[in-house]
Structure 1
């Protein structure tokens, strides 16, 4: 048995973590031991100790399969070091760039928050922000650029349905931009169908008519790549890097093309540049993970490493690989910017920073490795504080290295010898100019809800692309789980309850229709104030008996009561009345108001409402609003006993009935007692001041709720305004129940 530990070389298993590695009969690590190494490697990577993390990941991968996504922490570490090495990707500058993007989008609501281009086929995601359909289909981001909401769920065809109202408005207001966007969409559709020649003609004509159209040039680069004309594709991308140095998608596409050419080293550089500009670019993150995985993976899956070799960070497999590398390094091949359609060596483009991973990553594809430059570059980067000691990382020296070239990025003038201080700072792609809606084309009728036929208030957009007032849509979903217009299923939308306002439509109304919006807002406030009155038109739930201070859980499934509960929550009162039914009047004259403590919504729209009894009331008048009962009410309070002698007699009666109630409850069978405790909780303690509250002692109501008597009899006790009479009634019930029990 051998124990691996941190000794300055090779494999690091921290003694303070208690990791202990035991070797089996074939001197191979078990799955459990591999997991420990991966955990340690993750820890090192999160601490920015890149060299040591690389070594451990490499060792772990020689003892069993590891998925590329398990290298996520390592990829983040590599990206952090990349940013540190190139100060043009400094975090503060990136943050400033993102703030600038937000400012641009607030100025021009018709720009996509992701690509900052005109909103072509605008799609509103669950958080309420709107993006190009193209950006969503290509998975160009994983979190909303404006609110950080996770957008990975927006992946189905239905969820990519364009916002109908917004699409019509953009086509009406900006016909030229909409036409260009349609051509771009047609080109990309041709590329998906692999009609590259037709797409090339279309994209070339677009660029000829408007050389400044960067999206058209990006599409043409993709078409060139589809035709295997990598030289032309890279030329277009290089021009985009000069004109839009902060556009992450350009660097991602550049990395993909270089990857197809077999230039793994430089493709990694492109992906890192992309992630440095946009850390949420999921596709680039996955590509980095795959490249690092390929670099660290052993050439032979059956390689076994003994404890001695593992502790030194080497193996026969590694020795043979290094020997082959050194042999081929004696005859290096020339480097090409893009001289050949299919390069035989790792490409080093003028605009691409030399990779931080070794040319050994592309050894099998290219047969080239810079020997002296590899060692020198490693020493330079190893001396950086964030990478650990210079004497560590035997595996890193053999499988990974850092290029000796200086940190030069994209340059305006194409001069690759410019100093770092002359570099173009990393900024987001040049945004489109702010657009204004033509006044003659602005109509308030374009912003009317198709359900209430009024100006949108708190507009929300469904996954199928239709927009409604939030309250209007919720009322429709109370009755059916389909879109009111197209009848598409909204079951998932209802289950998620992500009714976030469509900010672009809400913002357009406030900006261009301020007077109409103010009038609509006042109307809404008046409606809410009317619904907030606790004595006038109080919503009534006709169901069961309720009592002050006693819990009353409810299962709400009828559409009218869904609406009622939602209004109670929206107004902030969180209160409604509870009465039992009456054949003649609809509901009885006395009841108890309930206060909502919490609402748990079920996926199909039903809800479980946790309520607590609040105050008793008497009904003065009845009415119906939107299908549910309402009433004008008057609250009831117990009449207080003022004289001392009467109060003493009342206290004596109170104590006597309380003791009698405790005796009755204790004599119940365990089964009944358990059910009562589960539903109503324990019996409240005796109170010192029995007239402190308008409803009297809480234990009286708890006892009345659990006593097995007719609801009509309970109702008569609820309506009493004298504590003495209520105690007498309860005593009468308890005496009767005890006599029945004794028989």
Structure 2
């Protein structure tokens, strides 16, 4: 029964108990198997791929591998095979270039003609893009690069068509590398824009979806007839060829299926999914070696294409399992020339066959120079470096020497091939119809865009600023964020709503998981569209936002006030923030960059006291439900001049307090004597406390500060504030000391408190 192109048929590589496992074994067998698996991985990393295959096969004969072992180790083997395949493709390209240097004039002229034709194609594509605007480059899926009729926004902020995520064609974002996770709902705003701006493309996409549903339901004949009828109306629609190929394959007409897929590869030679589907058809037809070639080519184009990697791991596991390992099978699979002779594989699309790939597997230090990334990623899973030396004792097969004369790559070229994010549009090597590899020039995307029939820009009368308005603030989106339920809001608007309840403001769907992750990434496509089509409105929106931030960043006017407890200069003040108004206040303090706010105790008449202390946020930890633990430390004292309110929390205009300095030498000498006496008295009091109390104070406030040489600082000696914080005194009394601008008066107050507590302890 066939499946739709949207429903990629992926069989997970077998784990213990699967087809490549033969049951359990003794402890000795498991130990030997683990040794062989590690050795096979080392051999693969050392570019001894032939020996690696034999070692993996020997390991699987001993029984099922450890849990997850086959997938993990075979994943390393697949990475090495793909890297080796890509190197061989580039090596052949270099060989063709060298041969072209001594080719007859006719071949040189033919090559120049090809280059001129490619240049003309690029120019036409550039003119098309210049004429249509950049929307075709913006409004596209980041995965398949096609038109996103059902756009979804992933957690990193990039946009994909729903099909790419629903069918798990990729595990990581091809733009930034973040995990994609489960498919979110269709983005409402982007979906509305797609329908409004590009109705024809959306109608076409609905036809694709209908074909996919027919294939998924097993209605192969109906799907074939519908696809054929649609192709009569629009023969340039490559997706229709793919759907019809799936229908052909389900009906058993493999040659017609491959003809349709070859039509797609002719137009789009760098679309990995097409090679993946061809490989599946060939695998089901029994052409294992050809399928392996195509899977490798798919991964060479896009090594993050997850279904192809899983299929290749499974095929290797099946081929190396005890029931499949025989000299006949290995000879057919690893040394076959059958791929070149297949009549339905057009234009030598895969370049070299798997037998040539396998022949250049003897140790080669120059080839191993391109392996550091793979080795660094996998060496922690292997034994020590001493184990790698065992590979040198393996006998070399004489037949491997026939490729030793082929050109090698430079270190710079090899390093370029190790880049992990190889997007389809950025792939630097293609396979031409004559089997040669050709470099793509940077920015060559016109042919791909034309094949996908990406839309031109929208008509001017369709661009409306109201389509880009946040439903909460009713203003133009600023840092638009799209939730998993598909609704888009300004980042600040959404955060304020989540301060009160972890639900979507529109559909009331739970956003607890979204809140706990706190990945409020801006929707890249919306930002780009706003920047392109609404630059004036965006500039005005930024101006308003800057004014709001400037108002919140002042440290003397409209200073946010946290009404809670006493705070002192230099003394730590940990806080547990859970009220929505204070969540907003703390967030604004972080966003403005000041990381400061005022702390005052409550006052029944005025709301908060006339004096307080500025706090600086040293560290902030968010809890999954939106609460936070804030580590702050006191900075400067202040006096409240005027009280205000902003968005539910208190603000104030303030002036900062500093101690009045003593200039007279005689008074300064007396002040120093008083300071030293009170400091010694404070140390004696602290030492007289019980060990339990002392340990609690040290844990919460830290040790008592040392005596400073300069006691006439703006806030006075730090030990005074530390002592006030730990003394069990009424906050009103502490507030009176905080407001003093005379160090002498403050020391006398502290001396009176210490004398009182010393008398109380003596009783």
Category of TM-score, reference length = shorter chain: 0.7 to 0.9
Match of 2:44 in 1: 45
Return the match for 1:351 from 349, 361, 378: 349
Return the match for 2:448 from 422, 430, 445: 430
- Counterparts of 1:608-687 in structure 2, within 5 Å, are 608-687=629-708
Deviations 1:481-537 (A, max 9, x none): 111111111111111111111111111111111111111110110011011111111
Match of 1:253 in 2: 277
Q: Does 1:723 align with 2:743?
A: yes
Q: 1:327 to 1:660 in 2, by over 3 A?
A: closer
Structure 1 counterpart SS, 2:354: coil
Q: 1:139 to 1:642 in 2, by over 3 A?
A: same
Q: Does 1:553 align with 2:574?
A: yes
- Name the stretch that deviates more: 40-49 or 653-662: 40-49
Structure 1 counterpart SS, 2:138: coil
Q: 1:240 to 1:325 in 2, by over 3 A?
A: closer
Q: 1:441 to 1:325 in 2, by over 3 A?
A: closer
Deviation at 1:348?
9.8
The separation in 2 between residues aligned to 1:28 and 1:624, in whole angstroms, is 72
Structure 2 counterpart SS, 1:488: coil
Q: Does 1:488 align with 2:493?
A: no
RMSD: 3.6
Q: Does 1:78 align with 2:102?
A: no
Q: Does 1:520 align with 2:520?
A: no
Deviation at 1:229?
2.7
- Counterparts of 1:419-568 in structure 2, within 5 Å, are 420=436, 430-432=448-450, 435-568=456-589
The separation in 2 between residues aligned to 1:641 and 1:423, in whole angstroms, is 79
Match of 2:213 in 1: 189
The separation in 2 between residues aligned to 1:82 and 1:462, in whole angstroms, is 41
The separation in 1 between residues aligned to 2:440 and 2:529, in whole angstroms, is 35
Q: Does 1:270 align with 2:294?
A: yes
- Contact 1:191 / 1:199 at 8 angstroms: preserved in 2? yes
Deviation at 1:422?
7.5
Structure 2 counterpart SS, 1:483: coil
Structure 2 counterpart SS, 1:642: coil
Match of 1:8 in 2: none
TM-score calculated relative to the size of structure 1? 0.81
Return the match for 1:297 from 318, 321, 333: 321
Match of 1:337 in 2: 342
Match of 2:241 in 1: 217
Q: 1:650 to 1:326 in 2, by over 3 A?
A: closer
- Contact 2:93 / 2:437 at 8 angstroms: preserved in 1? no
- Contact 1:108 / 1:435 at 8 angstroms: preserved in 2? no
Q: 1:650 to 1:53 in 2, by over 3 A?
A: farther
The separation in 2 between residues aligned to 1:548 and 1:707, in whole angstroms, is 15
- Contact 1:381 / 1:387 at 8 angstroms: preserved in 2? no
The separation in 1 between residues aligned to 2:172 and 2:298, in whole angstroms, is 15
Match of 1:5 in 2: none
- Contact 1:111 / 1:117 at 8 angstroms: preserved in 2? yes
Structure 2: stretches of 5+ with no match in the other structure? 1-24, 95-124, 369-389, 408-428
Q: Does 1:146 align with 2:175?
A: yes
Match of 2:591 in 1: 570
Match of 1:64 in 2: 63
Match of 1:367 in 2: none
- Counterparts of 1:151-170 in structure 2, within 5 Å, are 151=180, 153=181, 155-156=182-183, 159=184, 161-170=185-194
Match of 2:146 in 1: 117
Structure 2 counterpart SS, 1:683: coil
- Contact 2:432 / 2:438 at 8 angstroms: preserved in 1? no
The separation in 1 between residues aligned to 2:438 and 2:699, in whole angstroms, is 73
The separation in 1 between residues aligned to 2:363 and 2:653, in whole angstroms, is 80
Deviation at 1:240?
1.4
Deviation at 1:721?
0.7
Match of 1:14 in 2: none
- Contact 1:204 / 1:220 at 8 angstroms: preserved in 2? yes
The separation in 2 between residues aligned to 1:509 and 1:327, in whole angstroms, is 57
- Contact 2:619 / 2:631 at 8 angstroms: preserved in 1? yes
Q: 1:162 to 1:323 in 2, by over 3 A?
A: closer
- Contact 1:105 / 1:116 at 8 angstroms: preserved in 2? no
Return the match for 2:752 from 728, 732, 741: 732
The separation in 2 between residues aligned to 1:443 and 1:720, in whole angstroms, is 60
The separation in 2 between residues aligned to 1:742 and 1:631, in whole angstroms, is 45
Structure 2 counterpart SS, 1:600: strand
Structure 1: stretches of 5+ with no match in the other structure? 1-25, 92-99, 301-317, 340-346, 358-375
Deviation at 1:381?
5.2
User: Larger helix proportion, structure 1 or 2?
Assistant: 2
Match of 2:305 in 1: 281
The separation in 2 between residues aligned to 1:401 and 1:258, in whole angstroms, is 31
Match of 2:725 in 1: 705
- Name the stretch that deviates more: 277-286 or 426-435: 426-435
Deviation at 1:382?
4.0
Deviation at 1:150?
2.2
- Contact 2:641 / 2:654 at 8 angstroms: preserved in 1? yes
Structure 1 counterpart SS, 2:551: helix
- Contact 1:122 / 1:167 at 8 angstroms: preserved in 2? yes
- Contact 1:620 / 1:634 at 8 angstroms: preserved in 2? yes
- Contact 1:214 / 1:240 at 8 angstroms: preserved in 2? yes
- Contact 1:451 / 1:472 at 8 angstroms: preserved in 2? yes
The separation in 2 between residues aligned to 1:353 and 1:287, in whole angstroms, is 21
- Name the stretch that deviates more: 220-229 or 176-185: 220-229
Q: 1:45 to 1:509 in 2, by over 3 A?
A: same
Structure 2 counterpart SS, 1:608: strand
The structure, 1 or 2, with the larger RCO (C-alpha pairs under 8 Å, 6+ apart) is: 2
Q: 1:686 to 1:641 in 2, by over 3 A?
A: same
- Counterparts of 1:348-427 in structure 2, within 5 Å, are 350-353=348-351, 355-356=353-354, 382=362, 418=434, 420=436
